[in-house]
A = this chain, B = another copy of it.
Amino acid sequence: MNILDKERKLLVLEKNISDLGDTESVSKLVEEVEKFKKNEMTKLSSWDKVLLARHPKRPKSRDFIDYFSKDFIEFHGDRLFGDDKSIIGGIGSIDGIVFTIIAQQKGSTVEENIKRNFGMPHPEGYRKALRLMKQAEKFNRPILTLIDTPGAYPGLGAEERGQGFAIAENLKEMSRLTVPVIAVVIGEGGSGGALALGFANEVLMLENAIYSILSPEGYASIVWKDSTKAPLAAEQMKITAADLKDFDIIDEIIQEPFGGAHFNPELTFEKTKKCIMDTYYHLNGLARTELQYQRNAKVRNFGFLQRFNYDNLKEVRK
């Protein structure tokens, strides 16, 4: 039984209770629900987290932004080719500090999902992001990115207009930024399409978010020629916040409420905001060149490898 089945069962149980009204059997049922919550719904497999990260009711970037910032102004377009609606960009103040906010946006409805291309950016989306990052650099403004994408869109137009080139350019230019860059993986962090907004000074991640080099389905179909083995792949690939914190790839895990972010969005937003602002004030002490140095030094260390030492001294770097 995965988390979605459990969630459904919980709703049935709770409905039963409210149907009963104020009878004696209620207390028994309440007890049962509490037991179910405690024993079943808190044990999440990697696959459960994949399901939660993609949950249709999970709050989207725009929901976070609207909670964080009452004065968010959206800026459109890459000044080159188009305005990619799968990436939202603009400025907004969070607790009095003006941030450049750049976020991948999935839709909450079918229509919005089509408009947002299911959160899968084209090159013009990444170029809009880069334009706004350079703007932030000009005004010495911190950058907040929210990551929630299945990946960069693999289509004709995207390839024609240089998807790989756009992502690479972002990575190169992000390494040059001298303002604080904070990235938060709020849902799916899919591949290079996520990393193109994720080269940050600090990477935060929601408890049930995932971040991976390809989708578990993709992995399963390559390795086992069977995409239904995705749950197994999810386990093997180490894509949860806890796994990535172990690897030191991310810096902070933001706890989600019981049942996942959508069980209590406000609480999720509040915790996320707190974590962002703590991180901001932590980074704010650094000089501009130090911010650039710190961001690059961090990435420079990513890798899991060993180098043969001829004096038989082994050095492992993780």
Query: Is there an interface contact between A165 and B81, defined as CB atoms closer than 8 Å?
Result: no
Q: Which residue of B lies closest to A78 (CB)?
A: B80
CB distance from A266 to the nearest CB of B (A): 41
Say yes or no for A162: interface residue by CB 8 A criterion: yes
Q: Give the number of copies in the complex.
A: 2
Q: Are A81 and B81 in contact (CB under 8 A)?
A: yes
Residue of B with least CB distance to A123 = B80
Q: Which residues of B contact A28 (CB under 8 A)?
A: none
**In the complex the two chains form, is A161's CB within 8 Å of B81's CB?**
yes
Interface size class of A (residues with CB under 8 A): under 10
A314 within 8 A of B: no
Closest-by-CB residue of B relative to A161 is B81
Cα-based distance from A238 to B162 in the complex (angstroms): 45
Give the residues from 35 to 93 in chain A that come closer than 8 angstroms, CB to CB, to chain B: 79-81
Residues of chain B lying within 8 A (CB to CB) of residue A81: 80-81, 161
Q: Which of A79, A80, A161, A165 has the most CB of B within 10 A?
A: A80
Write the chain B residue with the least CB distance to A124: B80
Residues facing B in A149-182 (CB within 8 A) are: 161-162, 165, 169
B-side contacts of A80, CB under 8 Å: 80-81, 127, 161-162
Residues of B within 8 A of A127 (CB): 80
Nearest neighbor of A127 in chain B, beta-carbon distance: B80
Q: Which of B79, B162, B169 lies in contact with A162, CB distance below 8 A?
A: B79
Task: Tell me the complex Cα distance, A79–B164, Å.
Answer: 11
Nearest B residue to A77 via CB reads B162
Q: Tell me the A108-164 residues at the B interface (CB within 8 Å).
A: 127, 161-162
- B residues less than 8 Å from A79 (CB atoms): 162, 165, 169
A122 to chain B, nearest CB (A): 12
Q: In the complex, which residue of chain B has the Cβ closest to the Cβ of A165?
A: B79
Nearest residue in B to A169 (C-beta to C-beta)?
B79
Tell me how far the C-beta of A75 lies from the nearest C-beta in chain B, rounded to whole angstroms.
15
A79 and B130 CA atoms in complex are apart in Å by 15
Which residues of chain A have a CB within 8 Å of any CB of chain B? 79-81, 127, 161-162, 165, 169
A79-B169, A80-B81, A81-B81 are known; give 7 further A-B pairs, CB within 8 A: A79-B162, A79-B165, A80-B80, A80-B127, A80-B161, A80-B162, A81-B161
Q: Could you pull out 10 A-B pairs where Cβ atoms are within 8 angstroms?
A: A79-B162, A79-B165, A79-B169, A80-B80, A80-B81, A80-B127, A80-B161, A80-B162, A81-B81, A81-B161
* Nearest 8 interchain pairs by C-beta: A80-B80, A79-B165, A81-B81, A81-B161, A79-B162, A80-B162, A80-B81, A80-B161
